[in-house]
Structure formats: C-alpha cells, structure tokens
Amino acid sequence: MSINPYKNYYSFKKWSFHFLKRPFIHNIILITSGTAIAQIITIFFSPLIARIYGANAYGVQGIFMSIANTMATIAAMTYPTAIVLPKHDADALAIVRLSFYISILTSGITFFIIFYFKSEILYLLDSQNISNYIYFVPVFMLISTASVISNQWFIRKKFFSLTAKVAIFQASLVSIIKTCVGIVYPSAIVLIITNILSGMVNVLIAMLNFHKVPIDTPKNELLPSNAWCLAKRHSDFLLYRAPQVLLNAISQSLPVMLLATFFGATAVGHYTLTLSVLAMPINLIGGSVSQVFYPRINEAIFRGEDVKSLIIKATLGLALIGVLPFAVIIFAGPSLFAFIFGSEWKTAGIYGQWLGVWLFFQYINKPAVTAIAPLQLQGGLLIYEIFSTGTKILALYIGYAVFGSDVTAIALFSILGVIAYAWLISWVIFHSGKNIKVYSKNE
C-alpha cells in the first residue's frame, strides 16, 4: 500500500489554515505582530539611547516612573478593567465615563497634595533627585488612565488591528524623539516627557478612531446607565482590585526605591534598563495574549465552557514559547548586555540573570491574572498581594542589611517572586472549575 505524501502535506496545510483562522489565534497573531514590530523598533534604538543618556539619567527616569506608575494604577480605582465585563455597550460606556471622572478627581487631589507637601513627600521617598519633575506625576496619572480606558474599550470591541498600529507608531515616535533630542540634551527630563507623550499619542489616536468601532446595542438603548449602580455592581474593583493593584505596583517599584536609597541612582539605572529589555517578551507575547484572553475568558464564563482548561492551555503555551529567550538572558546576561549596550552596562546583565527567572513566571501568569476579574477572585488576590509584597520587602532589606549587596538583594527578591507567582497560577487554576455568578442585564 503506497502513501501519498502530497495528501499528508495538503491535510497539514488545511489544518494550519483553519487553525490560524480561528478568531482567538488570529487576534493573538494580529496583536503580536504589531507589538513585535514595535519591539524591534525599540530594540534597534535601545543601544544608542542607552549610550546617549547613561545609567544616571536612566536611574532618575526609573525613580520618577516608579512613583508615577504606582499612582497611575489607582487613578481610576481600576474601574477601566471592568469595561470588558458587561454584556451591553451601554453599561460599558457608562463605566468609561465613571473611570474618567474618577481619574480627574484623583489626579487633581494628587496635584494639590504635591503642591502643599512636596518636600515632605520627596524626603519620605528619598527621591530629592526628581524634585524638578514631580509635578508631572498627576499629568502622567490622567493621561495613563485615559490610555488604559481607550485600550480596554478596544479590547472589548476586539478592535485589535488598531491596537497593533498604535503600538508601532508609539514605538517609532518615542524612539526617534529620545534619540534626536538626546543628542542635543541627554537629560532625564527628556526620557520622562517622552513617556508621557507616548500615552498622549495613544489617547489621541483612540479619539480619532472611536467612531469606527461599531456599537452593538441599538441606539435607542444607549441611554446613560446609572453610574452609581455600576460602581456598586463592580465594587470588588474598588474594594479589592484597587488595593491589590496598588500593592503590586509598590512591590514592582520596591527595587527601584530601595536600590536608590541603599546603592544610588546608577544601580537604579542598571535595574531600569534590565527591566525594560526583559519586559519585551512579556509585552510582545504575554501582553498580546492577555488582551485577547480577557474577553475570551469572559465569554467562556457566560457560555459555561471549561474555563480551567483554557487557563492551563494558555499558560503552558506561553511557557513553551518563552522559555528560550528567557534562558538566553539567564545564562548569558552579563556578556550580552556588555556587548550590546557597552561595558558600563555589564552589571545590568548580572541583574538580568536573576530577574529573568522572576519575569518568566510573571510572563506565564498572564492568563491566570487575566482570569481573576471574570472569576470574581479579587478578594483572594488582595490577600495574596499583601503577603507577596511583604516577602519582597523583607528580601530586599536582607540583601542590603545582611549581605550589603545589590545583586544579592535582587536575587532574593526574584526567588521569592517566583514562589509567589507559581502559587498564584495554581490558586487561580484550582478555583477556575467552580461555579461563577454571572450578572444579568437588569441586575
């Protein structure tokens, strides 16, 4: 009996075609492609930008961004994350308005707090070297929230092509500005302003394209929903998710703040560059999967599908894709960083060897973290974050007080972070098989 090789080839080709045409896979490929191009642009400019500005400027930028990002995470009390959840666009649009109003209020309050207590805040955070830039924090909060709101709306509407285009345009514009302006004036303020500009570009493009996204609710049903009722319905975001996100942001910023306090801005510069490089596969693949997986897991819950299987498959898929690039950094970080960015950045590669392990688990936990809001596990997530943040503070302090070494502090921080992320993934998978309450339209 003869075997027709062409039959096997065409069968595989047909299977591949249908696999790639599946909406979930197609959307991931679409976003990943746009993010990949954006990352390639960033990688292309990174060695030049690192040489232009140096570790100290990166360090000052890192200190500012750690404070600004921490405040931005709770500027709208995490309500933008709820935009994807309602069945109907009328409710989702009401959450958009609610989120924006809250962000205006919190940004304004932050400005007045900084205005009256600037010196005390800088002294408390040991961050006097950002004294000239701290008033940019409320600006960053407002723009960052508007950017998140627009992204969540387009994720809800599965308008992923626009997300991909925005990522490419942002990366190109920001990289060119950093390079061109840096040649003339290589200062931390340039790095800070370009980060703010990146969010502004995102918001502007979203506003110009908002009318292109179809609204699936009939126009006569697009009446203003009761914002107070929606705020109460999704109160777990305010009560549990906002404190958890704040604690997570603090834990993410801990190395920056403590490295600045214990070892100076140059150590922060090494950490900031390392984090920006290692975050690329997280943003490229993990971030793309999160954006597509969020509405998908929400739909699966409404339809009564096997949610646990979806989370496990997505997690294992991310692990298989990401193990190689992270392994390269873990085993060859110092020599790679010294070769690409210059000998000044070899210490950043040493940081990368330890941070790579931690960030790999941060990368593969994206499906689990994305599923937490639809699974209504945000109370448990807050408890997890309290313990996780506490152990990370302890790790960094031991690294400084006992060993007096920035590398040891980073190593202990990463090891405990790996343990925490592994537990989080297991916890979400365990709870994903339970019955979930689904809100009805009139609830």
Average pLDDT over residues 399-426: 90
Distance CA 137, CA 46 (A): 25
Residue that wins the pLDDT comparison between 20 and 135: 135
User: What is the structure's pLDDT at 301?
Assistant: 81
Percent of the chain residues past pLDDT 70, beyond the cut: 85
Provide the Cα torsion 355, 356, 359, 363; round to 10°: 180
Q: What pLDDT, in 10s, does the model give residues 179-226? A: 999 999 988 899 999 989 988 988 888 888 777 766 765 555 544 556
Q: By CB neighbour count within 10 A (0-12 exposed, 13-18 middle, 19+ buried), where does 333 fall?
A: buried
Amino acid in position 261: T
Q: Is the pLDDT of residue 18 over 50?
A: no
Distances (CA, A) of 326 to 3, 43, 183, 186, 278: 41, 16, 32, 31, 8
Average pLDDT over residues 96-102: 91
Which is nearest to 381 in space by CA: 428, 311, 432?
A: 428
* Lowest-confidence pick of 344-348, 417-421, 439-443: 439-443
Sequence spans of domains, the chain? 20-431
Q: What pLDDT, in 10s, does the model give residues 299-342? A: 888 788 888 888 998 899 888 888 888 898 888 888 988 888 88
Beta-carbon count within 10 A of 332 CB: 14
User: What is the structure's pLDDT at 5?
Assistant: 52
User: What is the structure's pLDDT at 15?
Assistant: 40
- The backbone torsions φ and ψ at residue 381, rounded to the nearest 5 degrees and listed phi first, read -65, -35
Give just the sign of the alpha carbon dihedral 421, 423, 429, 433.
Answer: negative
User: What is the structure's pLDDT at 10?
Assistant: 45
Average pLDDT over residues 100-123: 92
Average pLDDT over residues 11-15: 44
Provide the Cα torsion 59, 63, 68, 69; round to 10°: 80
pLDDT confidence band for 12 (50 / 70 / 90): very low
Give just the sign of the alpha carbon dihedral 313, 315, 317, 320.
Answer: negative
- 224 SS3 class: coil
Q: Is the pLDDT of residue 127 over 70?
A: yes
**What's 322-356 look like in SS3?**
HHHHHHHHHHHHHHHHHHHHCHHHHHHHHHHHHHH
Q: What pLDDT, in 10s, does the model give residues 231-259? A: 778 888 888 888 888 888 887 777 887 78
Q: Quick check: 121 and 159 in contact, CB under 8 A?
A: no
Q: Is the pLDDT of residue 31 over 70?
A: no
Average pLDDT over residues 387-416: 88
Q: Quick check: 439 and 383 in contact, CB under 8 A?
A: no
- The backbone torsions φ and ψ at residue 264, rounded to the nearest 5 degrees and listed phi first, read 95, 170
Average pLDDT over residues 115-131: 84
Give just the sign of the alpha carbon dihedral 165, 171, 172, 177.
Answer: positive
pLDDT confidence band for 286 (50 / 70 / 90): low
User: What is the structure's pLDDT at 136?
Assistant: 95
- Average pLDDT across the chain, whole number: 81
Residue that wins the pLDDT comparison between 159 and 4: 159
User: What is the structure's pLDDT at 13?
Assistant: 44
Which is nearest to 392 in space by CA: 356, 355, 367?
A: 355
Structure tokens belonging to residue 429: 């998978």
